[in-house]
A and B are shown apart, each in its own frame.
Chain A
């Protein structure tokens, strides 16, 4: 008997993605092609949205039932890694399965984020570029494309698209017809799955060069702002133009003027990144989401058009219900400062946390529901004198002052303090908590900066502390709790004149 060639196929998937169907298709296709084949999977609770794997072996030539099959993939002996999701490719590389000398990786590049990536307050997502480059490094050949997007475009399943890609990659001795026969034989959603199969096959057999998505061009600004934008260095003009358009949309042209007036003092001759950073965070901050803004965004025509497009149902009607629950702050926040300040002070003492709320479900696609929200958006004229504006402006001006002062010390420190504004986000309790965290960051870092300035040091500690504090808070609840403690430890060491120990504390916290 000749030794048959063993081909092993590992399918790492996320439970619920239908990896089992993919395995069954390949198994049936191999049998249809007259090859020996077996496959296996891990049943049970592991499949409830967790990482799971499916495994197949195919024997090419010779064969018979006496062949030894393995129920497990062997690291370094995997011929095909077929992945319906990209992070799982990384996991398989981490476990040592694919190898540069042997493995063809066929993967979809889309991501299903793990809960740990989703929980971060900032960007906790595993870097896609690292995954793609590792996949290239640990494969003989890499076939990577967004199968979910392709499936969505053609209203079919990503699994079927991937099966087509596997067929077109020709890394298994199974003809196209056998895969098609497997889909037909299973008898489930045959027409749509065959369509998906062909889409995947064509995409890999005749790839089109991928066009890099271009960022949308900055919106046009009114003529009277064209010159003002030109005042800023080339590197930040696109951001300033975007900001101006955003502020006019949010309030009016005077408000955009105010923005430019705040930004101008920070512009300098050198190539610092500072004006661009400040422009960006300031524009977002100045368009803070008060009840008026939310009402405005919720009643735009473009919003309903987007929802209709996402529902992807021609000839269907849509009924939209908004879940609105402003708390007391957000309600009196839109009223004039002079009118509500005494009441607000009382309310803030009365309910330091968890202020009373006004929960409502508004049917925004009915006339009355729409009018309720639309009328609220008409209160924009109240905004400049509102209680909320008073407080937001005070905090913004404090931040700008701090950044300006730091800029006289050290550009890197000023940039880190500008970035701290990333923390100011959320609604209600979340926003109040984040604002307090932000205040504490500014206060601590400026204290560190002052000590370093007094001693003629190089601002390494204050700069690193600002970065570490922000990164920790954005990393998630644990980091948010740890950040003040880290800051206290760093300050204690700095005050004790031990700069190196302070830097070491920051390094430890960052790791």
Chain B
């Protein structure tokens, strides 16, 4: 399963002590889980942590099962968090993972319960902090969740050895303080390539091979009053103090005294790399990260250790806190501690940096420069402005070189995507039959969200994964015509079946749900979901969406092939106009083209090489028939359907053109037909290695066509 093959990575996960693993950050984290003796691993996929689950899925048969480790791709982040319940009563180590902050939001109910009851086996939550450049979700950070649930939060500095160390320390910390622990990793860190010197994998003491057998019961672990009061007390009297002791004893935070000056910097561990590169470029650190400026690197953001902080601040005059996101908990806590300890230190942070946005180098360097500007009279800080100007001076001339802003390139549906034609159909219906088709559309999370972008602009709101239908709940009765919700199969199984469909049926919502079924949870990388037919471990499931829909009482269900746009339009029209009350569900089916090409292309290549007959469809545009009005672009949006210069010297507008990446899905022709655009599109089936009778038939045909066809002058 998954977008990539991890055969090489699976092999490396089996490495023993001293062997050197080469790969991405997320692989180092995965390896460290196995080195920590986990009994179970679960999670819900999503960038940037999908590969943790992918590689373990591929490693299940060869590595995990023989060690007795249980692995699952959970139904949702909430289901994943609930796995940690195993560590409440039993001394089992376990890890779960998801994309944060959204996954943490979904998981927050069981997570709060685990954090309240406490754990006796180490429990680690690896959260992929999808924040900043390249993020695909709303922009919030997870820090506040750690604070309100008293979950220690690790934000390690970025290199593979550090990731492995802090995974192992994370389990130790969890067991020392009896709380689950967050291990936070940023987007780019997940995919940084480097090396890790491995240790031996550790076989868990409790596992599928040596099962528990005996239940363990204690009222103190049940989240009911009066025990919840005691649990709350324990968090602040026992667990967090224990965590603070562990942080100090194991030197999880780093103190670099530098040259011992009174101007210092405190930073989140995850920002160490950017801050030190900034100092390096400003001439204030060498390539090894040694700086004359005293530094405190907080690899553990919660809990902070007051003695450690006050000790660092005590002899300082000015301190900068480099902390991403708001609220600025670290900066505020430092200020409060300094105040309580009556220190005269001036603490800055958000005032010279930024309350919002990822802390990319330019932002951090600019903040460092502002912070250090008053110090430039000192020899150590001289030359700062010159170095700054060398880096960024040229940016003043950008607008004169590129007067017109560079065209945006938002992510979109891939070539041949089966979901795209559904939105072509909705846009055609909206344009041609506005009385019914121009209605409110509640969009959902997943690849389908791209429908909100150009060229479709279909979708009026996006609320959460599997929340499309639920988010139309109050619009539908107040709209005056039927509204449409969209949901992908991933979202359906994650949350949509209960919160969307069951709730809509229960509340007699009269609306239309378009369930886009492309057989996988594709936005995260073609992950299996219940209706894929097999789970992540490749075991058959036998779950289908129509069964589930009928089970919760949906009566009106139609299934359409997404590529047949006229049929999709017809079915939408029927759903929007039928007298049948209640929820109407259209299951629009078509396999994810990425997955399909990955499977079929090598086969076709092999057959062709072996001299077997292979037929490849492709689409084309007749350049002299296309008049260059680009209507097709505005309804189709396929990356392979593009422009080229008009070969006709008398015409000027570029014409449509299907490039070599076409997979022949047929949507070009279907859109041209359904929207009555133009006769420019044609399909060409290229028959490789034709059989003798195919060659003969073709020869006969060409004999006739050749005789009749005019040569043409252009």
Binding site for B on A (CB under 8 A): 1, 3-4, 6, 14-16, 24, 27, 38-52, 55, 59, 62, 65-77, 87-88, 90-91, 93-94, 96, 99-101, 112-123, 125-127, 130-131, 133-134, 137-138, 152, 215-216, 219, 239, 242-243, 245-246, 249, 280, 283-284, 289, 294, 296-304, 307, 310-311, 313, 315-327, 353-354, 357, 359, 361, 364-367, 370-371, 374, 422, 425-430, 434, 474, 476-477
Contacts and interface: CB of A to CB of B under 8 A. Distances in A.
A319 B712 contact: no
A311 B660 CA distance: 9
A39 B188 CA distance: 9
A451 B146 CA distance: 72
Interface stretch (B77-85, B89-97, B404-412): B404-412
A68 B620 contact: no
Contact of B134 (A16, A52, A66, A243): A52
Nearest to A92: B406
B20 to A, nearest CB: 11
A374 B190 CA distance: 60
Interface string B689-714: 11000110010110011101111111
Interface in B517-573: 523-525
Interface residues of B, number: 127
A45 B391 contact: no
A24 B22 CA distance: 12
A469 B705 CA distance: 46
A48 to B, nearest CB: 4
Contacts of A476: 634
Nearest to B703: A367
Contacts of B312: none
A119 B630 contact: yes
Given A70-B361, A118-B643, A365-B705, A99 B394 contact: yes
B363 to A, nearest CB: 10
SS class, residues of chain A in contact with chain B: mixed
Interface in B162-188: 186-188
Interface stretch (B251-259, B279-287, B313-321, B474-482): B279-287
B676 interface: yes
B140 interface: no
Contact of B622 (A94, A99, A297, A321): A297
B629 A121 contact: yes
The 7 A-B pairs of least Cβ separation, nearest first, read A44-B47, A50-B411, A42-B134, A76-B391, A300-B712, A70-B277, A323-B669
A58 B278 CA distance: 17
A91 B710 CA distance: 47
A74 B657 CA distance: 38
Nearest to B397: A137
Contacts of B505: none
B48 A44 contact: yes
B683 A321 contact: yes
Contacts of A87: 406-407, 409
Contacts of B286: 3
Given A68-B289, A430-B629, A300 B709 contact: yes
A15 B194 CA distance: 23
A310 B683 CA distance: 12
Contacts of A323: 668-669, 672-673, 679, 681-683
A117 B288 contact: no
B411 A318 contact: no
A45 B643 contact: no
Contacts of A371: 708
A318 B390 contact: no
Interface string B633-649: 11001010111000001
Contacts of A119: 454-455, 630, 633-634
Contacts of B398: 93-94, 96, 138
B362 interface: yes
Contacts of A44: 46-48, 50, 130, 134, 136, 187, 523-525
B681 A76 contact: no
A115 B695 CA distance: 41
B625 A289 contact: yes
B630 A316 contact: no
B238 interface: no
Contact of A15 (B285, B411, B627, B685): B411
Contacts of B413: 48-49
A367 B627 contact: no
Contact of A50 (B410, B642, B677): B410
Given A38-B194, A71-B274, A91-B406, A320 B627 contact: no
Contacts of A133: 401
B368 interface: no
B321 to A, nearest CB: 20
Contacts of B685: 318-321
A286 to B, nearest CB: 11
Nearest to A52: B134
Contact of A49 (B411, B622, B673): B411
Nearest to B646: A123
A299 B708 CA distance: 9
Max chain A CB contacts within 10 Å: which of B192, B193, B286, B672? B193
A36 to B, nearest CB: 10
A322 B412 contact: no
B105 interface: no
Interface centre among A91, A215, A245 (most CB of B within 10 A): A91
